[in-house]
Structure 1
Amino acid sequence: MFTPENTVIGFIGTGVMGKSMARHLMGAGYPLIVYSRTKEKAEDLIEQGAAWGETPRDVALKANVIITMVGYPSDVEEIYLGENGLVNHARAGSYLIDMTTSAPSLAVKIFKAAKGLGIHTIDAPVSGGDVGAKEAKLSIMAGGEEEHVEAIRPLLNLLGTNIVYQGKAGAGQHTKMCNQIAIASNMIGVCEAIVYAEKAGLNPDSVLKSITTGAAGSWSLSNLAPRMLQGNFEPGFYIKHFIKDMKIALDEAEHMDMEVLGLTLAKKLYDQLAEMGEENSGTQALYKYWKS
């Protein structure tokens, strides 16, 4: 049983979503040690009482539960398996929870390396964007040994409202790929629907009132379409990270000899947006493809 009295939580990655997630854990009374490649991103957490870790190794030596929420599989591999990484320096019995969207094969590699050292690893990517992170309403998809997922479920409950055990190591990441595949095609539909409404001379806000609660309803339609209409393209989730996710899903689909037409088209459109300089915009900036 993890309590604030017997648990020190390390949190690596204090970006758009990670910062809110770390704040929820602090709000529940858990001592927190944070690390980010850019210390300035963690300054407000430090001012609120979090300790600063100089390196992932420093975090591993001081915490018995460590959560990572970083950018790319290459970041995950370095943080976990690098010379100064978590697996090489965490104490036996520690829990390492990667909530980054990363490659399923890497999750398996980390699991195998850690298991031999008595370290418990869980791949637990999330869905819900910046809103879900701020409101602690994330959907969390967990892979690893079920007993270890159940052990840390009370901590995950501080971050999300839908925590589902998906299976062995890598299963959480495979489930997140399903999520991203569904979002990719849906975002095309959301943008086309809004642009169609505008070209037809309709009031897009009124259109949304009708279609968000019907069969067309989706999280993206309810949460991101209004941002499009407001001209708000700030990232709840970066285009550059979505492109990374789609590349992982495409690679995995190829390994399974599966054709993914919607995903392929979506990645092509987002690649074009990135070339236009929109890689640091939110995924709702796909709307600009039709407006350019």
Structure 2
Amino acid sequence: MNQQIAFLGLGVMGGYMAANLAQGGYSVKAWNRTPNRPGVEVAASGGATIVSSIREAVETADIIFSCVGDVPDVEEVILGAGGVAEFAKPGALVIDTSTIGPNAARKIGSTLNKHNLRFLDAPISGGDIGAKNGTLTIMVGGEPTDFEESKSVLEVLGKTIRLCGSIGSGQAVKLSNQVLCALHMVGLCEAMQLAQQQGIDPNLIVEVCSTGAAGSWALANLGPKIIESDFRPGFMIKHILKDLRLVQESLKESGEELPGVEMSDRLFKMVQELDNGMGGEQGTQAMIRAYHL
């Protein structure tokens, strides 16, 4: 494990991912735009070396991970002044695990290629639980040789790792994944509402329905949080709204509409507006609050 790794972005998921790589035996230099965040401490406790600049993180790295927010954030970290493209050594492999959509991924990959840098788009699914336990699903787009080179490192982070095609393909699969996540949450909230209206203990919905055809990750992991009114984020509403925006933007080219996406988008936005506009900081399970307005 002589590969040097840089990890940029130590949020709810990135902190655990950096920690897992360090605990897996890799030398990890980690950076976050905002110091003193919980994820920074998680990464440091796991053995990652926290540095104060992108340059310090990436200039000796063989593999550079990024895990940040929206398209502008990724472009700033990777392509902006003082970013990865400026300071990474030639031939380094950049792996972005953010959700940014196929078009942005292809643009970043093309630009990095001009800097003699390689790129994989590798969006992730599994929330903070998957990040902590190293059981993420990782959907990868890029060259097969780059994928094979990175596979042993990705296996530290995830359980299901799949090359989906060329650059942008990982993002395309991830957007489909986010449609499923959004609509699972609608179904989960409405099942809980129906149980309440019928005087049924909602725990029965989790315990019984999880074993049948209606079973899902959302029901098993987020159902109990809805019951307990635990809205702490594993994946924030503001982030699923960003992903649904990317889905809707991708549909504009074809003129197609997805009614379920539009409905879940509306429900999440209702919660986002709560708490003086801070509702988006809560986990996606807080969608249930839209049913209690």
TM-score, length of structure 2 as denominator length:
0.95
Q: Which residue of 2 aligns with 1:116?
A: 114
1:276 pairs with one of 266, 274, 284: 274
**In 2, Cα distance between equivalents of 1:47 and 1:160:** 20
Contact between 2:92 and 2:118, CA under 8 Å: does it hold in 1? yes
SS at match of 1:57: helix
**Alpha-carbon distance in 2 for matches of 1:143, 1:50:** 27
Most deviating of 112-121 and 25-34:
112-121
1:212-231 equivalences under 5 Å are 212-231=210-229
- Alpha-carbon separation, structure 1, partners of 2:16 and 2:192: 30
In 1: Cα distance, 2:236 partner to 2:100 partner: 15
RMSD, aligned α-carbons:
1.3
CA distance in 2, matches of 1:84, 1:282: 32
1:97 aligned to 2:91? Answer: no
Change over 3 Å in CA distance of 1:234–1:135 after alignment to 2 = same
Q: Which 5+ residue runs of structure 2 have no aligned equivalent?
A: none
Q: SS of the counterpart of 2:204?
A: helix
In the alignment, the residues of structure 2 paired with residue 135 and residue 286 of structure 1 have an alpha-carbon distance, to the nearest angstrom, of 25
**Is 2:2 aligned against 1:9?**
no
User: Could you tell me which of 175, 178, 186 is aligned with 2:173?
Assistant: 175
> What are structure 1's unaligned runs of at least 5 residues?
none
Q: How does 1:59-78 map to 2 (within 5 A)?
A: 59-78=57-76
Structure 1 Cα separation of the partners of residues 252 and 259 of structure 2:
12
Following superposition, the deviation at residue 238 of structure 1 comes to: 0.5
Pair 1:240–1:197, CA change in 2 (3 A): same
TM-aligned CA distance change 1:207 to 1:71, over 3 Å: same
The equivalent of 1:19 in structure 2 is 15
2-structure distance, mates of 1:210, 1:14: 37
For 1:186 and 1:125, locate their aligned partners in 2 and report how far apart those are by CA, in whole Å: 19
Give how far 1:48 is off.
4.9
Q: CA deviation at 1:55?
A: 2.1
Could you tell me how far apart the structure 2 residues matched to 1:141 and 1:133 are? 14
Q: How many matched pairs?
A: 288
Partner deviation per Cα, 1:194-230 (whole Å, 9 max, x = no partner): 1110110011112222211111111111110111001
Match for 1:13: what amino acid? Answer: G
The C-alpha deviation readout for 1:70-99, integer Å capped at 9, x for no partner, is 111110010111011112221111011000
Deviation at 1:44, TM superposition (A): 4.6
Residue 47 of structure 1, CA deviation: 5.2
3-state DSSP class of the match of 2:180?
helix
User: 1:107 and 1:204 mapped to 2: Cα distance?
Assistant: 41
Q: Which amino acid aligns with 2:11?
A: G
Secondary structure of 2:11's aligned partner: coil
Corresponding residue for residue 79 of structure 2: 81
Q: Which residue of 2 aligns with 1:127?
A: 125
Counterparts of 1:237 and 1:44 in 2: how far apart (Å)? Answer: 17
Aligned residue for 1:153, secondary structure, equals helix
Residue 162 of structure 1: CA displacement? 0.4
- In structure 1, what is the Cα distance between the partners aligned to 2:157 and 2:265? 29
Q: Give the secondary structure class of the aligned counterpart of 2:59.
A: helix
Tell me what 1:239 maps to. Answer: 237
Match in the other structure for 1:261: 259
Q: Are residues 1:139 and 2:140 paired?
A: no
Q: CA deviation at 1:130?
A: 0.9
Match of residue 160 from structure 1: 158
Query: Which residue identity lines up with residue 290 of structure 2 in the other structure?
Result: Y
Q: Which amino acid aligns with 2:267?
A: L
Give SS of 2:230's match: coil
Q: Which one of 187, 190, 209 corresponds to residue 188 of structure 2?
A: 190
TM-aligned CA deviation for residue 46 of structure 1: 3.1
* Equivalent position SS for 1:91: coil
